[in-house]
Amino acid sequence: MLQVAYIRENREKVVSGLNKRRFGNAAETIDKVMELDDLRKNTQSKHDQVLAESNSLSKQIGGLMREGKKEEAEEIKKKTADLKMESKQLGEELSRCEEELKQLLYTIPNIPNDNVPEGAGADDNQVVYEHGTTPKLSENALPHWELIKKYDIIDFELGNKITGAGFPVYKGQGARLQRAMVNFFLDEALKAGYVEIQPPIVINEDSGYGTGQLPDKDGQMYHISEENFFLIPTAEVPITNLYRDVILDTGALPVKHVGFTPCFRREAGSWGAHVRGLNRLHQFDKVEIVEIHHPDNSYAALERMCKHVQGLLEKLQLQYRVLNLCGGDMGFTSAQTFDMEVFSAAQQKWLEVSSVSNFETFQANRLKLRYRGEDNKMHLLHTLNGSALALPRILAAILENNQSDEGIKIPDVLVPYTGFDTIR
């Protein structure tokens, strides 16, 4: 969430950033924020003045009674009663104003970093790096949704029977390969200095607001109505919320965590050939990296996190590219995002497998995640997160790109984890 003080001091920059995001009515929205903030300040000032006057008069009552000036005391009592009523009304007005301002701020996305390119959607994202070559497959190569049937390693029909569409059942070598990737990704993160966290996969509403999934992604999250809980869309949410309402000592920075969880997304939208098989799921597994940094260091950290993900893809021997997302394609909370996509030779398309983002102070402001600076004042920290990695599309690419008449070859780095080198 943007800070009102920042909006006031940087109105033109904020409006320009929102326009880069293709956020409608940016100028009007920002002016409404400042109008509500002015109203809040004026109401607060009136409220404080009325309280001060009421308190001052109340102190006089006792003295007047002791002096026998009962009539004067009663007059002041009436005035204080009127002031208390006015104070109550102003307090209620102040609460309404603060709530309206907060709800409006919740609808405003983060401001893109200056290095975010202009653009309206995915076609305008900038390819900043490519690695590897496209594997040459035989003419009878199959997409992964056919391979999983051929080798009986993932069963969508069983998942549909148990739950519904988008909830696959992993079987035999498919389940072992899935577990192998999780352990490999976790081990690589530990080598890179991340501390492993195993968080809850159900969150409360405060956690959803803290990292910005609520109210923006309300309709895309599974909701448990009785307790007002939500199933997590990513481990980023519970891990980052470990630091809600926390003041960190600068000596404790950076914070680096990794967590493996199932992730749940309702994924509103159409289902068709472009999202067949593992390309879009309601439940999937993911290893997530989360970092918290001093503002001066967060963009260097973003670059290192991207390199970490790229290193995983290279060890898996997958062709990939890195995209700098344009303003119109960025997530609501992000200040800058780099996507990593792997190439599926059987589908002849790029598949997104990771997003690495710097949120700057946007989440920290909601979380009240701060540090005490050299000026002895409180300042907001920067939060970052990245997929390292999401499993379904990685698995799809491994299956498709490594298929042959002899079976599906397992990447060398995963063999110690799987216990086999080929799916047959």
Domain stops at, among 81, 106, 131: 106
- Kindly state whether residue 111 falls inside one of the protein's structural domains: no
Q: Is residue 116 in a domain?
A: no
Residues 172 and 94 in one domain: no
pLDDT of residue 273: 47
**Residues tagged in the binding site annotation for L-serine:** 234, 265, 288, 385
Which of 279, 289, 337, 334 shows the shortest CA–CA distance to 311? 289
Residue type, 64: L
Q: DSSP readout, 36-85? A: HHHHHHHHHHHHHHHHHHHHHHHHHHHHHHHTT-HHHHHHHHHHHHHHHH
The answer to whether residues 279 and 366 belong to one domain is yes
Domain extent for 393: 122-423
CA distance 199 to 212: 18
Q: Are 172 and 420 in contact (CB under 8 A)?
A: no
Query: pLDDT above 70 covers what percent of the chain?
Result: 98
CATH number of the domain at 346, please. 3.30.930.10
Task: Write the CB contacts of 137 (distance below 8 Å, at least 6 apart in sequence).
Answer: 345, 346, 400, 401, 403
Candidate from 19-23, 70-74, 408-412 with smallest mean pLDDT: 70-74
Number of domains composing the chain: 2
- 3-state SS, residue 341: strand
In a domain, 317, yes or no: yes
Predicted local distance difference test score (pLDDT) of residue 92? 96
Q: Which residues are annotated as a binding site for ATP?
A: 265-267, 352-355
CATH number at residue 28: 1.10.287.40
Q: Is the model's pLDDT at 270 over the cut of 60?
A: no
Domain membership of residue 313 (yes or no) is: yes
DSSP string across 216-233: TTGGGS-EETTTTEEE-S
**Helix 70-106 and helix 26-66: axis angle, to 10°?**
160
Q: What percent of the chain has pLDDT over 90?
A: 89
Q: What is the pLDDT of residues 282-326, one digit of tens each?
A: 999 999 999 999 999 999 999 999 999 999 999 999 999 999 999
Average pLDDT of 17-40? 97
Binding-site residues sit at 234, 265-267, 288, 352-355, 385
Question: What one-character DSSP code corresponds to residue 234?
Answer: S
Planar angle of CA 392, 397, 401, nearest 5 degrees: 155
- The helix/strand/coil state of 393 is helix
